[in-house]
Structure 1
């Protein structure tokens, strides 16, 4: 609240620092969602139900998969993939549907630009909020994994930062793509892209299940890179693939953020 009062007391032409502007937008989104806490609960429960139905239910029929030379139970194989998918879904909601509504219909960003906020501030603030939402989903899911005994390595403490990287990548890229959307019908492409990612990013079965030619395609998809990173951390077998995944996800998120800033300049200031 002190941050909000300080910002209100500024002169109209004064510029806000990057951290201060991001804090204001996070506070604004918190106030907007404070009475809709159930939305966060429903978003968290979806991957948990998947884990119980597929990881535990189907796991009774599957002995397990080999991962980096060791055989792990099916539930322990699926759970990290679901954690990565949870981070993607949490970030995706705010960076697509909600972002589009604020941009095209609510005209919230136009109102923000009447204040000392800039388009870059808006882009950072919205991406930070999508990261926060994805982080909450991921943290809660990680607690469920620990409670179910699906985590056996201290490397897993880095799974939450890894989930934030997944949220950064998808949040930045999806916000950038959303600035090109013209109507709600365009969001059919979001489902068209995310559903195959969810099903075919080695979330439920290993990469070796695909034909060799398809494996190359899968390995360059963003959710697969996130699944690899989280699975290696949760199982304690960390390889060079995790480094590749970190670089990939950071680059994807930052490039998306730059594009968002430029697109908002064109859409709102020209």
Structure 2
């Protein structure tokens, strides 16, 4: 008799499989590779340019302290994107891993949910590693920053689901250049390096519609100890954004794997 699985369709088995594949490298090794680029940004812009900027007007914290939480949010986002983007595409197009998976009791829903959960876990590991770097640089302003790491689960959920949806439409590696056309401008303009108030009001509304803006605002608010209802709105945005894309990903991958 084929064993029955929980309602998630065996998503936990997908996460366990990915953990088994990565068993040769410790979580800290995984985090080290994920945080290398944001460390460079922190040194070059946060610390380097921060020495010229001083305190951020209107926020009244040193520039490096202002930038560090944004880079933390970005690092967690990139970890989720990596796992549900090109890594997932390789398993789909070359290993045919998912086609093999769904002939087992694991369902399409389980495969999709499992990959998003894995992206969330990777975001959590990366966030823990980068938080240690921020602390080592003396950029921690509030104990509430500890909540910024579990907040990475929401970031991993939102961007992991969106990336997995995009991967369902990818025709080849070159298509990921289109993702970069979206991600790079969003990284540069979503208040990573300066407040949203520097923009004209119409542009502010556009920036505030970006998912990375809400990820950064959530992490930055916790990191600076500036709690308020707006953080709940940021979290709600990420939950709704991720849920919509997870539903879309389930439908798209259902067609890919059962057609």
For the superposition of Structure 1 and Structure 2, which TM-score range results when normalised by the shorter chain? Answer: over 0.9
Distance 1:96 1:256 in 2: 14
Change (3 A) 1:184 1:20: closer
Q: Does 1:176 align with 2:165?
A: yes
Once the two structures are superposed, residues 187-227 of structure 1 have per-residue CA deviations (whole angstroms, 9 ceiling, x without a partner) of: 11111111011111100111122222211110000001111
Is contact 1:138-1:160 (8 Å) kept? yes
Which residue is equivalent to 2:34? Answer: 43
Q: Secondary structure at the match of 1:71?
A: coil
Match of 1:208 in 2: 197
Q: How far did 1:33 drift? A: 2.2
1:17 aligns with 2:6: yes
Runs of 5+ consecutive residues of structure 1 not aligned to the other structure: 1-10
Deviations 1:1-47 (A, max 9, x none): xxxxxxxxxx4x32212568233212211222233565542222211
Counterparts in 2 of 1:27-106, with a 5 A limit? 27-35=16-24, 40-67=31-58, 70-106=59-95
Q: For the residues of structure 2 that align with 1:22 and 1:146, how far apart are their CA atoms?
A: 34
Change (3 A) 1:219 1:191: same
Correspondence for 2:114:
125
Partner-residue secondary structure (3-state), 2:10: helix
Superposed counterparts of 1:120-159, under 5 Å: 120-159=109-148
Shift of 1:178: 1.4
The alpha carbon displacement at 1:79 in A equals 0.3
Q: Which residue of 1 aligns with 2:233?
A: 244
Partner Cα separation in structure 2 for residue 29 and residue 59 of structure 1: 39
Query: Corresponding residue for 2:253?
Result: 264
- Following TM superposition, by how much is the alpha carbon of 1:239 offset from its aligned partner in structure 2, in angstroms? 2.5
Aligned partners of 1:59, 1:126: CA distance in 2, in Å? 38
TM-score, structure 2 length as denominator?
Answer: 0.93
C-alpha displacement of 1:78:
0.2
Determine the structure 2 residue equivalent to 1:189.
Answer: 178
The worse-fitting range, judged by mean Cα deviation, of 139-148 and 56-65 is 139-148
